[in-house]
Chain A
């Protein structure tokens, strides 16, 4: 079966510090991978998606970046965090060798920037 992992689960970082969130998928190959942010009282905002290694599409201009160094690994980074970066970050996958249309989500990382 397919599983998706995110870590850390929670993170408290000061303004101006760097960020690295990791997402890994097991049980499928060549998935589409996504990073979303969910701010309080708002819906899910798509930040980045990737259809393959090294292929990243950015949906919203911001001080965040994403990388996909391996087929089933997706990393969200920032060089300097802003207060507005606080939120709940979700990673998701779809497609892969199961050819699913629906997206499956990880457990999320709650980021608080102080």
Chain B
């Protein structure tokens, strides 16, 4: 089984709707990183979370790390077509801040 599980694997939402993507670890996370990828392109860094209970927001995207530091959620408010893509979480599970384990990604489609 994967050390880092993302759910759902894919998501189709209507423009304007809210959505949440989850990332769950079997181990304590020293750092959790959210990225967005458009098909055939590199990953774009969104946010990094390190402390239990931490929450960060950028525009309409909010990410949280739970108190136990084993689960993170990414919430998009009032989704837009520009939010479409693949969202990946990456985790530092060793405390080295140099090697990340990535989830398999969540493919988001936003319909008009």
Q: Chain A 39-55, CB within 8 Å of chain B: the 1/0 string?
A: 00111101001010000
Contact of A107 among B2, B42, B101 (CB under 8 A): B42
> Which bracket fits the contact residues of B?
20 to 34
> Which bracket fits the contact residues of A?
20 to 34
Contact B103 A43, beta carbon cutoff 8 Å: yes
Chain B residues, Cβ within 8 Å of A46: 99-101
Inter-chain CB contacts under 8 Å: number: 53
Contact B33 A42, beta carbon cutoff 8 Å: no
Given the known A-B contacts A43-B105, A44-B88, are A90 and B98 also in contact in the complex, defined by CB atoms under 8 Å? no
Q: How far is the CA of A65 from the CA of B45 in the complex (A)?
A: 27
Given the known A-B contacts A43-B103, A101-B48, A103-B33, are A95 and B98 also in contact in the complex, defined by CB atoms under 8 Å? yes
Contact A42 B42, beta carbon cutoff 8 Å: no
Contact A104 B97, beta carbon cutoff 8 Å: no
Q: Chain A 80-114, CB within 8 Å of chain B: the 1/0 string?
A: 00000000101010110000011111111010000
Contact A108 B98, beta carbon cutoff 8 Å: no
Contact of A101 among B41, B43, B44, B97 (CB under 8 A): B97
Q: How far is the CA of A83 from the CA of B4 in the complex (A)?
A: 27
Chain A residues, Cβ within 8 Å of B33: 102-103
**Beyond A43-B104, A92-B43, A108-B42, 6 extra complex contacts between A and B, CB < 8 Å:** A43-B88, A43-B105, A101-B92, A103-B90, A105-B45, A108-B40
